[in-house]
Amino acid sequence: MNTLRIISERPIEDIFSHLSQYESTKLALKLIQRKDKNNRLTPELAEAKAIGVAYCLRNAREYLRQTDVSWTTRLLNGYYGMMALSGALMIADPDNTYTLQDFEGFTKKGHGLSNIDSEAPFPEGQLIYLTKKGLFLEFAAHLGLKLDAFKVKDRPDSTQDLHLIKDKHLTLDNLLACIPELADLYFNVTGKPPKSSPYEMKSPDPRGGPKFGNQSLPDPPEDPNAADAFPLGLCYLLTSPYHQTLEDCKVMQNYFQPLDIIQRTNDGPAIRGYVLGDSEEACLARIPSHQSALVPPSWFDAPFGEVKDMLAVHFLITYHLSIIVRYRPSLWREITEGEYNDYFSLIRQYHQVFSRVVPQLVLERLEGRPVKLIALFNGLQVH
């Protein structure tokens, strides 16, 4: 797979420059025809898809490139821009028949998300949850996420009804904790370990038994089935300065469910584990991982255990923030200039991460290939 290399002094501007070429319906049509390798689309449908992709990308740019505006407007625009980007990705997919009219139909069904406040203080008191239908659910299905078990059939009307969304809701803290690019600031603001960690992947030692650097992994479990699979697994080293004790590692194991074995190493605040499977592809399919220009390959705690695509996580966060800035003015004032102003630092940093990372993720999905930014500094390439 060829990598799209972009040499740039201003990475995000050039990412949007590449995205903006597909605001041309002619160029969007060429993109869709390249993606339609099996020629499944009729010329009429391909043309309709091109119109939809061009419109959604132009819409997204108009929302997301407004930088000289208030933070209230930026966060609200972030959600609408995320909606538009999700539409571009769904419409550009040659495996479906979606057009701009279908995307409009999805939005008419609602956000696919709703919200309610509990009696707990911020940030635990503001809850969002999945509804039965709407845009987020269509986007999640497009990404291959299976979320039916978390849809809420009977919406709560008051705090007396919160049992209806027990184990089916998310807080803003839940979501920001799993963004790898925010790990340091999240820990500084909240005092809690983030729910993400960089990792290194190691394959089993072919000379007889799995190795981790110079250390041997523990013996296979007593379970015969697990023992049979053990040599086919993959070894991971997760480095987290926020998990210092074995008890911390047990907590971390709850975050990273795919780890079948987990231990603290003897040479620092790191843990090691094994993911079992009959192939590397099968092992990797179990892992909620993310990598961007800002962080190395990292694990994150997938919301609901199933939202393993970072674009879907960003959709959830931008929705959550849009609710606060639109419908919780007293809370928003406390965040921006009152009791919770430390959290405002985290929200601002999140928006910077979102603005840098999400457009590149979308460009990679549209192009069907990785994008590598090669920075220029005073005319010299910086790798």
Q: How far apart are CA 121 and CA 162, in angstroms?
A: 15
236 and 331 housed in the same domain: no
292 and 308 housed in the same domain: no
pLDDT digits (tens, 9 = 90+) for 143-183: 999 999 999 999 999 999 999 999 999 999 999 999 999 99
Q: How far apart are CA 240 and CA 256, in angstroms?
A: 13
CA distances for 138 relative to 98, 101, 147, 155, 203, angstroms: 11, 14, 11, 19, 36
Query: Side chain identity at 249, as an amino acid letter?
Result: C
Helix (H, G, I), strand (E, B) or coil at 113: strand
Q: How far apart are CA 312 and CA 82, in angstroms?
A: 10
Single residue among 300, 317, 332 that ends a domain in this structure: 300
30 and 85 housed in the same domain: yes
Q: Report the candidate in 308, 213, 294, 220 with the shortest Cα–Cα distance to residue 258.
A: 308
Tell me what pLDDT residue 297 has.
84
The residue that leads in pLDDT, 33 or 374, is 33
The residue that leads in pLDDT, 296 or 186, is 186
235 and 294 housed in the same domain: yes
Q: Which domain holds residue 241?
A: 196-300
- The tokens for 378 are 């005073």
Q: How far apart are CA 112 and CA 294, in angstroms?
A: 30
Tell me what pLDDT residue 255 has.
59
What percent of the chain stands above pLDDT 70?
A: 75
Q: What number of CA atoms fall less than 13 Å from residue 231's CA on the CB side? A: 7
Segment of 79-93, 147-161, 223-237, 248-262 carrying the highest mean pLDDT = 79-93
Tell me what pLDDT residue 268 has.
52
SS3 content of the chain, % helix, strand, coil (to 5): 50, 15, 30
Into how many domains does the chain fold?
2
Q: How far apart are CA 190 and CA 171, in angstroms?
A: 14
Tell me what pLDDT residue 217 has.
46
42 and 179 housed in the same domain: yes
38 and 100 housed in the same domain: yes
Is pLDDT of 369 > 70?
A: yes
Average pLDDT over residues 21-30: 97
Single residue among 270, 300, 330 that ends a domain in this structure: 300
pLDDT digits (tens, 9 = 90+) for 192-241: 888 888 877 655 544 444 444 444 444 444 443 444 434 445 555 566 66
Residue in this structure with the two tokens 């809701």, named with its chain if needed = 169
Q: What's the whole-model pTM score?
A: 0.87
pLDDT confidence bin for 272, thresholds 50/70/90: low
Residue in this structure with the two tokens 């993606």, named with its chain if needed = 35
103 and 149 housed in the same domain: yes
104 and 128 housed in the same domain: yes
Single residue among 248, 276, 300 that ends a domain in this structure: 300
208 and 352 housed in the same domain: no
Q: Report the candidate in 288, 311, 298, 319 with the shortest Cα–Cα distance to residue 170.
A: 319
Q: What number of CA atoms fall less than 13 Å from residue 207's CA on the CB side? A: 3
292 and 350 housed in the same domain: no
Average pLDDT over residues 70-92: 97
pLDDT digits (tens, 9 = 90+) for 280-330: 666 667 778 888 888 888 888 899 989 999 999 999 999 999 999 999 999
Element (H, E) at 252: helix 246-255
What percent of the chain stands above pLDDT 90?
A: 62
Is pLDDT of 37 > 80?
A: yes
- The tokens for 41 are 């689309």
Query: Side chain identity at 122, as an amino acid letter?
Result: F
Dihedral angle, C-alpha 239, 244, 249, 250, nearest 10 °: -170
Residues counted in the chain: 383
CB burial class (10 A; 0-12, 13-18, 19+) of residue 109?
Answer: middle
Q: Report the candidate in 180, 84, 137 with the shortest Cα–Cα distance to residue 316.
A: 137
Tell me what pLDDT residue 237 has.
58
CA distances for 117 relative to 72, 73, 123, 322, 341, angstroms: 20, 22, 10, 15, 20
278 and 265 housed in the same domain: yes
21 and 159 housed in the same domain: yes
Contact call for residues 377 and 383 (beta carbons, < 8 A) = no
Tell me what pLDDT residue 142 has.
97
- Within its chain, how far is the Cα of 223 from the centroid? 34
Strands 298-300 and 196-202: antiparallel
Q: How far apart are CA 20 and CA 23, in angstroms?
A: 5
Q: How far apart are CA 72 and CA 75, in angstroms?
A: 6
Q: How far apart are CA 278 and CA 372, in angstroms?
A: 31
